[in-house]
Amino acid sequence: MTANLEMVKEARKILEGNIEKTPIYTASRMGENLYIKMENLQKTGSFKLRGAFNKIAHLTDEQKKKGVISCSAGNHAQGVALSATRQGIKSYICIPSIAPLSKIEATRGYGGEVIIVDGTFDDAQAKAYELQKEMDLTYVAPFDDEYVLCGQGTIGLEILEQLPDVKYIVVPIGGGGLISGIALAVKSLKPDVKIIGVEPENAASMLASRKAGKIVTLDSANTMADGIAVKKPGVLTFDLCEKYVDEIVTVSEDEITNAILRLLEESKVSAEGAGASSVAAVLSKKFDFSDGKVCAVLSGGNINVNTISQIINQGLFKTGRLAEITTTISDKPGELIRLLTIIKDKGANIKNIDQFKSAETVGFDHAVVRIIAETYNKDHRRELYQALADAGYEESHVSRNK
C-alpha cells in the first residue's frame, strides 16, 4: 500500500463530523500576505487527532476488540486517546515520567489508560512495544504510517479550499507525518504550490537526511519545540518529503520564542513551540514569500502556562520591552528618589524594585538597587541606560542588556 490522494480524500470522509475544519486566520499585522491555518483550535489542541482517528478507523473488528497502544509525551497521546474513545476502543498510552502533569491528566481525560514509565520517551516507547506484543494490541505510530499521514493530509485539502490562490504552505517538521501528508495532497492537486518545511536548528533531522541523501539519526534534539524534537525521520515520510517538499529551512530558539510572543500579543493566539515554528520561518524571512499568499500551519497550541510566562518575560527583554538595572547608590535620604526620578523622566515604568546591602560588593554607606522597568523598545532602553550612566551610575551594571 502506498499513500496517495485517494487515501487522503477517504480520510476526509472518515473525519467529517469527528474533527474541526479549522479556520484560516488573516495575520496582516504580522506580515503581508500571511495567513495561518489554526490547528491549535483542533480538538485536543493539535492536528494529531486527524491521523490517529483515521488510523484507528481502519482497524479490523478483531483489532478494535483488543485495543490500541501508543507512546507520547504530548499531543499524539491525546489524539490517540480521544480517537479510540470516540470509536469505542480501549487505548493504552505509555508516557515518560518526565512529561508535564497537565498532559498526563489531559490524556486520562480523553479516556486513555495512562502507563507512566520511568525515564525518557525512548523508555516509554520500549514499554509500549513490550505491551503491544504481550497484549496483542495495535500500535498507533505518531508519524510513519500511511493512514496517519493521510489523516494529516486533510489539512492540505482544507487549505486549498479556504485559500485557493495560496502560493506557499509552510509546515513544521518533526517526524514528517504532517508535512508529508499535506505535501502529498497539495502537490497532487496543485503542483505549483510551494511546500516549505521548518525544523528547529537544534533538531533538523529531516534536513540532515535530505543533505545526506538517506535517513540519518541526530545525536541530540534539544529544542523548546518539543513537539518536533525528533532525532530520526520516518521511512515513509522521508520518501514523501524527498518527492514533494520544495525546501526545508531552520529556525533558532530565539526566533521560535519571538513568534510565540508575537502570536500571543498581536493575534491573541496561543501557540506551542512546534506550532509557532512555521510562523517563525515567515517572520524571520527564511524564504522569499514576497510574491504571493503564504499559509503557515500552526500545528498546535498545547503550551504550559509556566512556559508561556517564561517566554513572555524572555521575549520582553530580548525586544527591549523590559530593562534590568542593577547599580549602587549612597545609603542616604533622597538618593533612591534621585535614581527613580531619572527613570521616570525618561518615560520608563518601574515594575519591580529591590534594595539591599551586600558587604562583599559595596561599603557600609552604600546599597545595591535592582530595578525592572518597562521600556518601549531597544532604542528607548539604550537612552535610559545612557541617562543613568551620565548621572554617574555604574555603567557596567546598567548597560548589560543593551
Same structural domain, 275 and 236? yes
Same structural domain, 269 and 370? no
Residues taking part in catalysis: 48, 299
> Does 102 map to a domain?
yes
> Does 402 map to a domain?
no
Same structural domain, 295 and 324? no
d(CA 137, CA 128): 10
Same structural domain, 244 and 95? no
Average pLDDT over residues 41-56: 97
User: What band does 238 get if pLDDT is binned at 50, 70 and 90?
Assistant: very high
Beta bridge partners of 70: 93
Same structural domain, 288 and 173? yes
Q: How many domains does the chain have?
A: 3
Is the pLDDT at 399 greater than 50, yes or no? no
Same structural domain, 339 and 266? no
Same structural domain, 172 and 279? yes
Structural domain that includes position 176? 5-46+145-312
Same structural domain, 173 and 300? yes
User: CATH number for the domain including 330?
Assistant: 3.30.70.260
Lowest-pLDDT choice from 97-106, 157-166, 247-256: 97-106
Same structural domain, 284 and 379? no
d(CA 11, CA 154): 7
> Does 228 map to a domain?
yes
d(CA 299, CA 103): 17
User: CATH number for the domain including 235?
Assistant: 3.40.50.1100
**Mean per-residue pLDDT over the chain, rounded:** 92
Same structural domain, 39 and 172? yes
What per-residue string of b and e applies to 347-386 under the rule 16 or more CB within 10 Å gives b? ebeeeeeeeeeeeeebeeebbbbebbbebeeeebbebbbe
Average pLDDT over residues 372-392: 94
pTM score of the predicted model: 0.89
- How confident is the model over 345-372, as pLDDT tens digits? 999 999 999 987 765 556 677 888 899 9
> Does 57 map to a domain?
no
